Copies of this chain bind each other. A is one copy, B any other.
């Protein structure tokens, strides 16, 4: 066929299609991706170094919509508790838009520009609130754990435990309160955020 007059592909279109496949099936393969784009697998390599590079593009997407609180200089500074909570919620909101994507990203840490900007803002807020540098890193790490854990939770299949004979009455009663996802993971995240901030204030 040769070169088309206007390119059929771009890195962006490839990432779009890959994300759709991940949302629909929980993963993607190069042949499936090519088919969805109406193209042959080898064509993808004109725009992207390989499969790993596509995963990196998806990682960027996962972080791309973190919106940081705009602090107007004229305004009185907000309590650090609220500022941290807003950042954590925005982080999680961006990260949780594509729940089935998250398991593909756990191999390496987030390393995108948006992520660094967010960590910077968190660090400024926490240092201003009086945390020393070591605790600042610890708190950022904990927020990471909370966001990652609850994001993975959204995509996890419903537990078949209820059927198991080994479940004791207390745990069974706790499980009986579980709501369907994504609500359950949202709820756990909010609870965790609240407990975290309360614990930090002490």
Residues of chain A touching chain B, judged by Cβ–Cβ distance below 8 Å, are: 103, 106-109, 111, 113, 116-117, 119-120, 122-124, 126-127, 133-138, 140-142, 144-146, 148-150, 152-153, 156-157, 159-161, 164, 166-168, 170-171, 173-178, 187-188, 191-192, 194-200, 202
Contact = CB atoms under 8 A, between A and B. Distances in A.
Provide the main secondary structure of the chain A interface: helix
A140 B195 CA distance: 13
Contacts of A195: 142, 195-196, 199-200
A144 B149 contact: yes
Q: Among the interface residues A113, A144, A188, A197, which one has the most CB atoms of the partner chain B within 10 A?
A: A188
Contacts of A127: 170, 173-174
B133 A176 contact: yes
25 contacts: A106-B152, A111-B161, A116-B161, A119-B171, A120-B166, A120-B168, A123-B168, A124-B170, A126-B170, A126-B174, A136-B170, A137-B174, A137-B177, A137-B178, A138-B188, A140-B174, A141-B188, A142-B191, A145-B146, A145-B148, A145-B153, A145-B192, A195-B199, A198-B199, A199-B199
